[in-house]
Chain A
Amino acid sequence: MKRNDEDVDYFFQEIKKKDSKKNIPEFEDIYIKPIRFRGFLWAKLGVAASFLILAGFYLFNNLKDKNSEFVGIEIILSEEKTINTKSLINNDLAIDTWEPPTSSLIDDF
């Protein structure tokens, strides 16, 4: 750009002269390469997976504790022969001796 402004030109040349002594920071110190998207995505997935694993462990341990509090029925099967000949069926409530509690109501007077 051609200009006929010698004094203004001189004015700015003087500023330039001063700035020539100025320390300019290195390009590498200022230019920061951004994290690549793919790498960033993998990092995100890694963190999410770690959280899921931790949550899984926590839930599994909680369920395990709850199960240990439950008292269940214990069935023991034994192959040993018993010498007890006594019947295991209780005869107290045999059907032939049983009387309904309302039988007195049908008696004839």
Chain B
Amino acid sequence: MDKVELEQLLKRHHRDAFLWAYQICNYNDDDGKEVLQMTYLKIAEGRAVFRDKSEFKTWLFSIIRNTAMDYLKKRVFFDDLDTIEEKFQEVEKIDTDPINYRDLLQRLSNRQQQVLLLAFYHDMTLAQIADVTNLHIGTVRTHYERGKIAVKALIINEKK
């Protein structure tokens, strides 16, 4: 695959890739951007090579996930005043919504969140999710089933 073709593919999946990076970075825009930029750089420099073993989107999502995991481990949390203010405004927004689905989703474990997001938001199969998350398909299925039960319970609780 030449560079032009690779760039076109990245461009085509850019929106989904950004949203995945953003979701995996706990819905932080700046972290999402940073992770996506690091991912693109890895690909452009040839440190991550697509070898047609899986779908391009699956491959891209797995690199984003691995990059985000490394990034979040190394990252030192430092909330400056602006961020605190942003969060405060966000909380205010949340309070005005009848049901905040994203907030509900964050009550699930990280693995369950990732599996359900990949399945229901990014329309991936369990096999593709196993590729992205580096988990055995059986483990993915367990997270998927338990996650669904947890989400249903959360929805029922919220509606009460």
Contact = CB atoms under 8 A, between A and B. Distances in A.
17 contacts: A1-B124, A3-B120, A8-B148, A8-B151, A11-B101, A11-B104, A12-B116, A12-B121, A18-B101, A22-B19, A24-B14, A24-B19, A30-B33, A30-B36, A31-B37, A31-B40, A34-B45
Contacts, number: 69
A5 B112 CA distance: 16
B93 to A, nearest CB: 11
Interface string A26-37: 010011111000
Shortest 10 CB-CB distances between A and B: which pairs?
A12-B120, A27-B14, A14-B101, A31-B40, A34-B45, A15-B101, A27-B11, A34-B44, A30-B37, A12-B121
Contacts of A15: 101-102, 105, 121
A19 interface: yes
Chain A contact patch, size range: 20 to 34
Interface of A: 1, 3, 5, 7-9, 11-12, 14-16, 18-19, 22, 24-25, 27, 30-34
B123 interface: yes
B10 A8 contact: no
Contacts of A22: 19
Nearest to A16: B121
